[in-house]
Protein backbone atom coordinates (compact mmCIF):
# COMPACT_ATOMS: atom_id res chain seq x y z
CA UNK A 1 0.00 0.00 0.00
CA UNK A 2 1.57 3.25 -1.21
CA UNK A 3 -0.18 6.51 -0.28
CA UNK A 4 0.73 9.74 -2.04
CA UNK A 5 -0.82 12.64 -0.14
CA UNK A 6 -0.46 15.20 -2.95
CA UNK A 7 -1.95 12.90 -5.56
CA UNK A 8 -4.88 11.89 -3.35
CA UNK A 9 -5.62 15.50 -2.39
CA UNK A 10 -5.46 16.69 -6.00
CA UNK A 11 -7.87 14.02 -7.23
CA UNK A 12 -10.31 14.62 -4.38
CA UNK A 13 -10.36 18.36 -5.06
CA UNK A 14 -10.73 18.12 -8.85
CA UNK A 15 -12.62 14.85 -9.37
CA UNK A 16 -14.16 14.19 -5.96
CA UNK A 17 -12.80 10.64 -5.83
CA UNK A 18 -9.69 8.47 -6.23
CA UNK A 19 -8.99 4.73 -6.36
CA UNK A 20 -6.08 3.22 -4.41
CA UNK A 21 -5.21 -0.30 -5.52
CA UNK A 22 -4.68 -3.11 -2.98
CA UNK A 23 -5.36 -0.97 0.07
CA UNK A 24 -5.95 -4.07 2.20
CA UNK A 25 -4.87 -7.73 1.98
CA UNK A 26 -6.91 -10.93 1.88
CA UNK A 27 -5.63 -11.68 5.39
CA UNK A 28 -7.39 -8.55 6.67
CA UNK A 29 -10.78 -10.17 6.02
CA UNK A 30 -11.86 -13.43 7.63
CA UNK A 31 -14.43 -15.91 6.35
CA UNK A 32 -16.32 -15.36 9.60
CA UNK A 33 -16.59 -11.65 8.77
CA UNK A 34 -18.13 -12.39 5.36
CA UNK A 35 -20.59 -14.87 6.85
CA UNK A 36 -21.44 -12.36 9.57
CA UNK A 37 -22.28 -9.64 7.03
CA UNK A 38 -24.27 -12.01 4.82
CA UNK A 39 -26.67 -12.64 7.71
CA UNK A 40 -27.10 -9.08 9.00
CA UNK A 41 -30.24 -7.12 8.13
CA UNK A 42 -30.13 -3.94 6.09
CA UNK A 43 -31.39 -0.57 7.30
CA UNK A 44 -33.99 1.38 5.27
CA UNK A 45 -31.22 3.09 3.26
CA UNK A 46 -29.94 -0.29 2.07
CA UNK A 47 -26.88 -0.18 4.35
CA UNK A 48 -25.87 -2.64 7.09
CA UNK A 49 -25.14 -0.86 10.37
CA UNK A 50 -23.79 -1.97 13.74
CA UNK A 51 -20.76 -4.00 12.64
CA UNK A 52 -18.74 -5.74 15.34
CA UNK A 53 -15.36 -3.98 15.59
CA UNK A 54 -13.45 -7.21 16.13
CA UNK A 55 -13.98 -8.10 12.46
CA UNK A 56 -12.53 -4.92 10.92
CA UNK A 57 -9.69 -4.15 13.37
CA UNK A 58 -6.98 -4.60 10.72
CA UNK A 59 -8.78 -2.32 8.27
CA UNK A 60 -9.18 0.25 11.01
CA UNK A 61 -5.40 0.50 11.51
CA UNK A 62 -4.90 1.32 7.83
CA UNK A 63 -7.75 3.84 7.82
CA UNK A 64 -6.11 5.64 10.75
CA UNK A 65 -2.89 5.96 8.76
CA UNK A 66 -4.86 7.35 5.82
CA UNK A 67 -6.81 9.84 7.96
CA UNK A 68 -3.64 11.18 9.61
CA UNK A 69 -2.04 11.60 6.18
CA UNK A 70 -4.96 13.53 4.65
CA UNK A 71 -5.84 15.69 7.64
CA UNK A 72 -5.13 19.38 6.87
CA UNK A 73 -6.50 22.84 7.65
CA UNK A 74 -8.74 22.55 4.59
CA UNK A 75 -9.86 19.03 5.48
CA UNK A 76 -10.40 18.99 9.22
CA UNK A 77 -11.13 15.28 9.62
CA UNK A 78 -10.64 13.09 12.66
CA UNK A 79 -7.99 10.38 12.80
CA UNK A 80 -9.95 8.56 15.51
CA UNK A 81 -13.68 8.87 14.72
CA UNK A 82 -14.81 6.48 12.01
CA UNK A 83 -18.21 5.09 11.15
CA UNK A 84 -18.20 1.54 9.76
CA UNK A 85 -21.05 0.04 7.75
CA UNK A 86 -21.40 -2.50 4.95
CA UNK A 87 -23.19 -2.54 1.60
CA UNK A 88 -24.40 -5.86 0.20
CA UNK A 89 -25.50 -6.31 -3.41
CA UNK A 90 -27.31 -9.48 -4.49
CA UNK A 91 -26.80 -10.73 -8.04
CA UNK A 92 -29.96 -10.38 -10.11
CA UNK A 93 -30.81 -10.84 -13.77
CA UNK A 94 -33.84 -8.61 -13.34
CA UNK A 95 -32.86 -5.03 -14.16
CA UNK A 96 -36.39 -3.65 -14.30
CA UNK A 97 -37.26 -1.40 -11.34
CA UNK A 98 -40.57 -1.89 -9.54
CA UNK A 99 -43.13 0.91 -9.61
CA UNK A 100 -44.39 1.71 -6.10
CA UNK A 101 -47.98 2.87 -5.69
CA UNK A 102 -49.66 4.74 -4.16
CA UNK A 103 -47.08 7.48 -4.72
CA UNK A 104 -45.47 8.97 -1.61
CA UNK A 105 -43.96 12.47 -1.68
CA UNK A 106 -40.94 11.33 0.35
CA UNK A 107 -40.27 7.94 -1.25
CA UNK A 108 -38.93 7.01 -4.66
CA UNK A 109 -41.62 6.04 -7.17
CA UNK A 110 -39.47 3.05 -8.17
CA UNK A 111 -37.30 0.54 -6.31
CA UNK A 112 -34.28 -1.11 -7.94
CA UNK A 113 -33.81 -4.91 -7.63
CA UNK A 114 -30.80 -6.59 -5.99
CA UNK A 115 -30.21 -3.87 -3.39
CA UNK A 116 -29.07 -1.41 -6.06
CA UNK A 117 -28.99 2.21 -4.85
CA UNK A 118 -30.04 4.85 -7.40
CA UNK A 119 -28.35 8.26 -7.94
CA UNK A 120 -27.96 10.15 -4.68
CA UNK A 121 -25.81 12.07 -2.22
CA UNK A 122 -25.98 10.34 1.18
CA UNK A 123 -28.81 11.29 3.49
CA UNK A 124 -28.38 10.03 7.03
CA UNK A 125 -24.77 10.99 7.60
CA UNK A 126 -25.62 14.52 6.48
CA UNK A 127 -28.57 14.62 8.89
CA UNK A 128 -26.27 13.46 11.69
CA UNK A 129 -23.28 15.75 11.12
CA UNK A 130 -24.34 18.46 8.61
CA UNK A 131 -20.67 18.86 7.69
CA UNK A 132 -19.76 17.36 4.34
CA UNK A 133 -16.77 19.64 3.90
CA UNK A 134 -14.65 17.83 6.50
CA UNK A 135 -15.66 14.29 5.67
CA UNK A 136 -14.48 11.34 3.54
CA UNK A 137 -16.12 8.09 2.44
CA UNK A 138 -13.86 5.03 2.13
CA UNK A 139 -15.28 2.08 0.22
CA UNK A 140 -13.57 -1.33 -0.02
CA UNK A 141 -14.98 -4.42 -1.84
CA UNK A 142 -14.28 -7.53 0.27
CA UNK A 143 -16.38 -9.97 -1.78
CA UNK A 144 -16.35 -9.47 -5.54
CA UNK A 145 -15.55 -11.89 -8.37
CA UNK A 146 -15.11 -9.49 -11.29
CA UNK A 147 -13.82 -5.90 -11.48
CA UNK A 148 -16.19 -5.08 -14.36
CA UNK A 149 -19.45 -5.50 -12.45
CA UNK A 150 -21.30 -4.28 -9.34
CA UNK A 151 -19.21 -1.12 -9.17
CA UNK A 152 -20.03 2.39 -7.99
CA UNK A 153 -20.95 4.89 -10.71
CA UNK A 154 -19.83 8.46 -10.05
CA UNK A 155 -20.42 11.94 -11.44
CA UNK A 156 -16.98 13.60 -11.13
CA UNK A 157 -16.77 17.22 -9.99
CA UNK A 158 -15.17 18.40 -13.23
CA UNK A 159 -17.82 16.79 -15.44
CA UNK A 160 -20.70 18.18 -13.41
CA UNK A 161 -19.12 21.65 -13.46
CA UNK A 162 -18.79 21.44 -17.24
CA UNK A 163 -22.36 20.34 -17.96
CA UNK A 164 -24.31 21.84 -15.04
CA UNK A 165 -22.46 24.43 -13.00
CA UNK A 166 -25.68 25.43 -11.22
CA UNK A 167 -26.18 21.92 -9.79
CA UNK A 168 -22.50 21.68 -8.88
CA UNK A 169 -22.77 24.86 -6.79
CA UNK A 170 -26.07 23.77 -5.24
CA UNK A 171 -24.73 20.46 -3.94
CA UNK A 172 -21.26 21.58 -2.85
CA UNK A 173 -20.75 20.35 0.74
CA UNK A 174 -24.39 19.21 0.77
CA UNK A 175 -26.12 15.91 1.37
CA UNK A 176 -29.61 14.36 1.35
CA UNK A 177 -30.28 14.75 -2.37
CA UNK A 178 -31.59 12.22 -4.89
CA UNK A 179 -31.37 12.48 -8.68
CA UNK A 180 -34.04 10.94 -10.91
CA UNK A 181 -35.15 11.04 -14.54
CA UNK A 182 -38.81 11.67 -15.37
CA UNK A 183 -40.33 8.64 -17.12
CA UNK A 184 -43.80 7.99 -18.50
CA UNK A 185 -44.89 5.96 -15.48
CA UNK A 186 -43.25 8.26 -12.91
CA UNK A 187 -44.32 11.61 -14.39
CA UNK A 188 -47.39 11.82 -12.06
CA UNK A 189 -45.03 11.44 -9.08
CA UNK A 190 -42.79 14.27 -10.31
CA UNK A 191 -45.84 16.46 -11.00
CA UNK A 192 -46.97 15.78 -7.41
CA UNK A 193 -43.52 16.53 -5.98
CA UNK A 194 -42.96 19.79 -7.87
CA UNK A 195 -46.62 20.88 -8.02
CA UNK A 196 -46.36 21.56 -11.76
CA UNK A 197 -46.23 19.59 -15.04
CA UNK A 198 -42.81 18.05 -15.74
CA UNK A 199 -41.42 16.69 -18.99
CA UNK A 200 -40.53 13.06 -19.66
CA UNK A 201 -36.76 12.75 -20.16
CA UNK A 202 -35.81 15.62 -17.85
CA UNK A 203 -33.63 15.02 -14.79
CA UNK A 204 -34.40 16.47 -11.36
CA UNK A 205 -32.54 16.84 -8.09
CA UNK A 206 -34.81 15.96 -5.17
CA UNK A 207 -33.90 17.93 -2.06
CA UNK A 208 -34.63 15.81 1.01
CA UNK A 209 -33.31 18.30 3.55
CA UNK A 210 -34.70 21.76 2.90
CA UNK A 211 -38.41 22.51 3.34
CA UNK A 212 -37.98 25.65 1.25
CA UNK A 213 -37.49 23.79 -2.02
CA UNK A 214 -38.46 20.38 -3.34
CA UNK A 215 -35.50 20.38 -5.71
CA UNK A 216 -34.52 21.67 -9.14
CA UNK A 217 -34.11 20.58 -12.74
CA UNK A 218 -30.69 19.13 -13.58
CA UNK A 219 -29.25 20.25 -16.92
CA UNK A 220 -27.18 17.10 -17.47
CA UNK A 221 -28.05 13.49 -18.26
CA UNK A 222 -26.24 11.70 -15.44
CA UNK A 223 -26.10 8.40 -17.30
CA UNK A 224 -24.20 10.04 -20.16
CA UNK A 225 -21.54 11.76 -18.04
CA UNK A 226 -20.96 9.09 -15.36
CA UNK A 227 -17.69 7.26 -14.81
CA UNK A 228 -17.48 3.76 -13.34
CA UNK A 229 -14.14 2.97 -11.64
CA UNK A 230 -13.33 -0.72 -12.01
CA UNK A 231 -12.69 -1.92 -8.49
CA UNK A 232 -10.97 -5.19 -7.72
CA UNK A 233 -11.17 -7.00 -4.42
CA UNK A 234 -9.39 -5.03 -1.65
CA UNK A 235 -9.14 -1.78 -3.65
CA UNK A 236 -10.07 1.45 -1.90
CA UNK A 237 -12.39 4.04 -3.40
CA UNK A 238 -12.17 7.36 -1.54
CA UNK A 239 -15.02 9.78 -2.24
CA UNK A 240 -15.93 13.23 -1.08
CA UNK A 241 -19.38 12.90 0.52
CA UNK A 242 -21.06 15.46 -1.76
CA UNK A 243 -20.28 13.54 -4.96
CA UNK A 244 -23.26 12.11 -6.86
CA UNK A 245 -23.05 8.32 -7.02
CA UNK A 246 -25.07 5.11 -7.35
CA UNK A 247 -24.71 1.32 -7.66
CA UNK A 248 -23.99 0.78 -11.35
CA UNK A 249 -25.42 -2.75 -11.60
CA UNK A 250 -26.10 -6.00 -9.74
CA UNK A 251 -24.63 -8.48 -12.22
CA UNK A 252 -22.60 -10.22 -9.50
CA UNK A 253 -22.76 -10.53 -5.72
CA UNK A 254 -20.76 -7.90 -3.92
CA UNK A 255 -20.04 -7.01 -0.31
CA UNK A 256 -18.18 -3.84 0.53
CA UNK A 257 -16.96 -2.30 3.75
CA UNK A 258 -17.61 1.39 4.06
CA UNK A 259 -15.72 3.57 6.52
CA UNK A 260 -16.75 7.19 7.00
CA UNK A 261 -13.93 9.40 8.24
CA UNK A 262 -15.85 11.91 10.34
CA UNK A 263 -15.25 15.63 10.95
CA UNK A 264 -12.83 16.25 13.82
CA UNK A 265 -15.44 17.99 15.97
CA UNK A 266 -18.22 15.48 15.28
CA UNK A 267 -19.95 13.02 17.57
CA UNK A 268 -20.18 9.29 16.87
CA UNK A 269 -23.82 8.79 15.95
CA UNK A 270 -23.93 5.08 16.81
CA UNK A 271 -22.94 5.75 20.44
CA UNK A 272 -25.57 6.36 23.11
CA UNK A 273 -24.60 10.03 23.47
CA UNK A 274 -24.67 10.45 19.70
CA UNK A 275 -28.11 8.89 19.51
CA UNK A 276 -29.30 11.13 22.36
CA UNK A 277 -28.10 14.21 20.48
CA UNK A 278 -30.03 13.11 17.38
CA UNK A 279 -33.19 12.66 19.47
CA UNK A 280 -32.84 16.06 21.19
CA UNK A 281 -32.31 17.87 17.88
CA UNK A 282 -35.13 16.01 16.11
CA UNK A 283 -37.83 18.63 16.74
CA UNK A 284 -35.63 21.43 15.39
CA UNK A 285 -35.07 19.73 12.03
CA UNK A 286 -36.85 20.23 8.72
CA UNK A 287 -39.95 18.14 8.01
CA UNK A 288 -38.08 16.14 5.41
CA UNK A 289 -35.25 15.40 7.82
CA UNK A 290 -37.70 14.36 10.56
CA UNK A 291 -39.45 11.96 8.17
CA UNK A 292 -36.18 10.10 7.60
CA UNK A 293 -34.70 10.46 11.09
CA UNK A 294 -37.80 8.89 12.60
CA UNK A 295 -36.86 5.65 10.80
CA UNK A 296 -33.35 5.76 12.24
CA UNK A 297 -34.60 6.42 15.78
CA UNK A 298 -37.09 3.54 15.61
CA UNK A 299 -34.46 1.20 14.21
CA UNK A 300 -32.00 2.16 16.99
CA UNK A 301 -34.57 1.58 19.75
CA UNK A 302 -36.10 -1.67 18.51
CA UNK A 303 -32.97 -3.32 17.12
Q: Given this model, what pLDDT does residue 158 score?
A: 97
Q: How far apart are CA 236 and CA 138, in angstroms?
A: 7
Q: Given this model, what pLDDT does residue 145 score?
A: 95
Q: Given this model, what pLDDT does residue 168 score?
A: 98
Cis peptide upstream of residue 102 (ω within 30 degrees of 0):
yes
Quick check: 196 and 216 in contact, CB under 8 A? Answer: no
Q: Given this model, what pLDDT does residue 42 score?
A: 85
How far does Cα 131 stand from its chain's mean position? Answer: 14
Q: Given this model, what pLDDT does residue 298 score?
A: 84
pLDDT tens digit sequence for 40-76: 988 877 789 889 999 999 999 999 999 999 999 899 9
Q: Given this model, what pLDDT does residue 1 score?
A: 63
C-alpha distances in Å from residue 157, one per residue of 14, 153, 173, 198: 6, 13, 12, 27
Name beta bridge partners: 83: 260
Looking at every residue in the chain, the average pLDDT score rounds to: 93
Q: How far apart are CA 268 and CA 167, in angstroms?
A: 30
Mean pLDDT by 10 residues, the chain (303 residues): 87 97 94 91 82 93 96 93 93 88 90 89 93 97 96 98 98 97 96 95 96 94 98 97 96 95 87 87 93 86 68
Domains of the chain and CATH, by start: 5-302 (2.60.120.620)
Query: What is the total residue count of the chain?
Result: 303
Amino acid sequence: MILNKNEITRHLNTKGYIVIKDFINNSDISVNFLNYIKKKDKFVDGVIHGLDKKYYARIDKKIKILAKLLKTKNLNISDKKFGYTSIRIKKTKNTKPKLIKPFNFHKDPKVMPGGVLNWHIDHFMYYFHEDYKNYLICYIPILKSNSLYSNVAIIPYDKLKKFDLYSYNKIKNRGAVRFRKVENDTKPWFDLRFKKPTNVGDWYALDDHSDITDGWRVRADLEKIKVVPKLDLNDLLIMKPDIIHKTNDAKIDRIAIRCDILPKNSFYEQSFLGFLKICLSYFFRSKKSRYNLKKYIKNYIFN
